[in-house]
Amino acid sequence: MLMFLLAGCNASETPILTVTAANLSLNLTPNYNMSSVPITTSGEGYIEQLIIINNTENMNDSSLLSLTSFSDISVLELEADDILIFMDNMLSGIFRLGGADEKESYNLKDHSNQNVTVRVFDIPDAENPLSSNLTYMTSLRLDQLNYIYIFSMDKNLTNNIVENLELVE
Protein backbone atom coordinates (compact mmCIF):
# COMPACT_ATOMS: atom_id res chain seq x y z
CA MET A 1 0.00 0.00 0.00
CA LEU A 2 2.87 2.40 0.81
CA MET A 3 4.25 1.81 -2.70
CA PHE A 4 0.92 2.87 -4.15
CA LEU A 5 0.92 6.13 -2.15
CA LEU A 6 4.52 6.99 -3.00
CA ALA A 7 4.21 6.19 -6.71
CA GLY A 8 2.47 9.50 -7.46
CA CYS A 9 4.78 11.66 -5.28
CA ASN A 10 7.45 13.89 -6.70
CA ALA A 11 10.07 15.64 -4.60
CA SER A 12 10.04 19.38 -5.20
CA GLU A 13 12.16 22.19 -3.82
CA THR A 14 11.80 25.94 -3.77
CA PRO A 15 14.14 28.57 -2.34
CA ILE A 16 12.95 30.32 0.84
CA LEU A 17 14.46 32.73 3.32
CA THR A 18 14.25 32.09 7.04
CA VAL A 19 14.97 34.37 9.95
CA THR A 20 17.50 33.08 12.46
CA ALA A 21 18.87 34.55 15.65
CA ALA A 22 22.49 35.66 15.59
CA ASN A 23 24.83 37.76 17.69
CA LEU A 24 26.85 40.80 16.76
CA SER A 25 30.31 40.41 18.22
CA LEU A 26 32.50 43.42 18.98
CA ASN A 27 35.50 43.87 21.25
CA LEU A 28 34.80 46.87 23.48
CA THR A 29 36.46 48.14 26.64
CA PRO A 30 34.41 47.80 29.88
CA ASN A 31 33.29 51.45 29.82
CA TYR A 32 31.16 50.77 26.71
CA ASN A 33 27.74 49.19 26.64
CA MET A 34 25.80 47.95 23.66
CA SER A 35 22.02 47.72 23.47
CA SER A 36 19.46 47.15 20.76
CA VAL A 37 16.11 48.72 20.00
CA PRO A 38 13.29 46.29 19.15
CA ILE A 39 13.10 45.07 15.57
CA THR A 40 10.96 47.03 13.16
CA THR A 41 9.53 45.17 10.21
CA SER A 42 8.64 46.47 6.80
CA GLY A 43 6.33 45.27 4.09
CA GLU A 44 9.04 46.37 1.67
CA GLY A 45 11.22 43.24 1.93
CA TYR A 46 13.53 44.13 4.81
CA ILE A 47 13.77 44.21 8.60
CA GLU A 48 15.67 46.87 10.53
CA GLN A 49 17.15 46.95 13.99
CA LEU A 50 19.06 49.73 15.76
CA ILE A 51 22.07 49.04 17.95
CA ILE A 52 23.40 51.75 20.25
CA ILE A 53 26.95 51.78 21.59
CA ASN A 54 27.61 54.21 24.45
CA ASN A 55 30.69 55.12 26.40
CA THR A 56 29.49 55.41 30.00
CA GLU A 57 32.34 57.84 30.77
CA ASN A 58 31.88 60.13 27.75
CA MET A 59 28.44 60.34 26.11
CA ASN A 60 29.95 62.09 23.05
CA ASP A 61 31.79 58.86 22.34
CA SER A 62 28.85 56.87 20.99
CA SER A 63 27.68 55.16 17.82
CA LEU A 64 24.41 54.24 16.21
CA LEU A 65 24.35 51.11 14.09
CA SER A 66 21.45 50.34 11.80
CA LEU A 67 21.17 46.68 10.81
CA THR A 68 19.17 46.00 7.66
CA SER A 69 18.25 42.38 6.94
CA PHE A 70 16.64 41.76 3.58
CA SER A 71 13.74 39.34 3.57
CA ASP A 72 13.02 39.45 -0.17
CA ILE A 73 14.52 36.44 -1.94
CA SER A 74 15.15 38.49 -5.11
CA VAL A 75 18.00 40.22 -3.22
CA LEU A 76 19.99 37.00 -3.67
CA GLU A 77 20.05 37.67 -7.41
CA LEU A 78 21.81 41.03 -6.90
CA GLU A 79 25.51 41.61 -6.42
CA ALA A 80 26.06 42.20 -2.69
CA ASP A 81 28.68 44.88 -3.37
CA ASP A 82 26.21 46.78 -5.58
CA ILE A 83 23.71 46.89 -2.72
CA LEU A 84 26.40 48.19 -0.40
CA ILE A 85 27.49 50.90 -2.86
CA PHE A 86 23.89 51.97 -3.45
CA MET A 87 23.10 52.25 0.26
CA ASP A 88 26.38 54.06 0.98
CA ASN A 89 25.70 56.61 -1.77
CA MET A 90 22.11 57.10 -0.59
CA LEU A 91 23.17 57.75 3.01
CA SER A 92 25.96 60.12 1.92
CA GLY A 93 23.42 61.99 -0.21
CA ILE A 94 21.05 62.35 2.75
CA PHE A 95 23.87 63.87 4.81
CA ARG A 96 24.70 66.33 2.00
CA LEU A 97 21.05 67.31 1.55
CA GLY A 98 20.98 68.10 5.27
CA GLY A 99 23.82 70.58 4.82
CA ALA A 100 26.76 68.35 5.77
CA ASP A 101 30.09 68.66 4.01
CA GLU A 102 32.23 65.58 3.39
CA LYS A 103 35.62 66.53 4.84
CA GLU A 104 37.55 63.37 4.07
CA SER A 105 37.33 59.65 3.60
CA TYR A 106 39.71 56.84 4.48
CA ASN A 107 39.84 53.07 4.04
CA LEU A 108 40.02 50.27 6.58
CA LYS A 109 39.78 46.48 6.45
CA ASP A 110 36.88 44.76 8.17
CA HIS A 111 37.12 41.47 10.11
CA SER A 112 36.93 39.50 6.85
CA ASN A 113 39.66 41.65 5.21
CA GLN A 114 37.23 43.51 2.91
CA ASN A 115 37.90 47.17 2.09
CA VAL A 116 35.61 49.62 3.88
CA THR A 117 35.44 53.35 3.16
CA VAL A 118 34.72 55.61 6.13
CA ARG A 119 33.37 59.06 5.23
CA VAL A 120 33.83 62.01 7.60
CA PHE A 121 31.08 64.62 7.49
CA ASP A 122 31.02 68.05 9.09
CA ILE A 123 27.40 68.43 10.17
CA PRO A 124 26.11 71.87 11.14
CA ASP A 125 24.56 72.18 14.59
CA ALA A 126 20.92 73.27 14.13
CA GLU A 127 20.87 74.96 17.56
CA ASN A 128 24.16 76.82 17.06
CA PRO A 129 24.90 77.78 13.42
CA LEU A 130 28.51 78.68 14.31
CA SER A 131 29.17 75.15 15.56
CA SER A 132 29.37 71.80 13.82
CA ASN A 133 30.09 68.17 14.62
CA LEU A 134 32.21 65.61 12.84
CA THR A 135 30.32 62.40 12.12
CA TYR A 136 31.87 59.21 10.78
CA MET A 137 29.65 57.19 8.47
CA THR A 138 30.23 53.86 6.78
CA SER A 139 28.45 50.68 5.80
CA LEU A 140 29.46 47.04 6.08
CA ARG A 141 28.20 43.88 4.44
CA LEU A 142 27.87 41.20 7.10
CA ASP A 143 26.66 38.62 4.58
CA GLN A 144 24.53 38.52 1.44
CA LEU A 145 21.33 39.50 3.29
CA ASN A 146 22.61 41.58 6.23
CA TYR A 147 24.11 45.06 6.05
CA ILE A 148 25.03 47.44 8.84
CA TYR A 149 25.35 51.21 8.69
CA ILE A 150 27.52 52.97 11.25
CA PHE A 151 27.10 56.56 12.42
CA SER A 152 29.59 57.70 15.05
CA MET A 153 31.05 60.86 16.52
CA ASP A 154 34.33 59.20 17.48
CA LYS A 155 36.99 58.08 15.00
CA ASN A 156 38.58 55.46 17.28
CA LEU A 157 35.22 53.86 18.06
CA THR A 158 34.30 53.88 14.36
CA ASN A 159 37.58 52.21 13.44
CA ASN A 160 37.14 49.59 16.17
CA ILE A 161 33.63 48.77 14.97
CA VAL A 162 34.70 48.48 11.32
CA GLU A 163 37.72 46.31 12.07
CA ASN A 164 36.14 44.00 14.65
CA LEU A 165 32.36 43.76 14.19
CA GLU A 166 31.14 40.39 13.00
CA LEU A 167 27.94 38.41 12.77
CA VAL A 168 28.14 35.20 14.81
CA GLU A 169 25.46 32.59 14.26
- List, for residues 46-89, the tens digit of each pLDDT value: 888 899 999 998 887 889 999 988 887 787 888 888 888 998 99
The rounded distance, in Å, linking the Cα atoms of 142 and 84 is 10
The pairing of beta strand 166-168 with beta strand 146-152: unpaired
What angle is formed at CA 109 by the lines to CA 55 and CA 67, rounded to 5 degrees?
55
For 51, list phi and psi in degrees, rounded to 5: -125, 130
Q: How far is CA 113 from CA 32, 107, 166, in A?
A: 25, 11, 12
Asked if 124 contacts 97 with a C-beta cutoff of 8 angstroms, the reply is no
Domain ranges of the chain: 23-168
CATH of span 23-168: 3.40.1000
pLDDT of residue 8: 61
Residue 110 scores a pLDDT above 90: yes
- List, for residues 112-127, the tens digit of each pLDDT value: 999 999 999 998 877 7
Asked if 146 contacts 6 with a C-beta cutoff of 8 angstroms, the reply is no
Task: Specify the DSSP element, H or E, that contains 161.
Answer: helix 155-164
Helical H runs in 2-103?
2-7, 80-97
Give the pTM: 0.82
- List, for residues 126-158, the tens digit of each pLDDT value: 777 777 789 999 999 988 888 999 999 999 999
- List, for residues 12-48, the tens digit of each pLDDT value: 787 777 777 788 888 888 999 999 887 777 677 788 8
Task: Output the average pLDDT for the chain.
Answer: 85
The rounded distance, in Å, linking the Cα atoms of 49 and 120 is 23
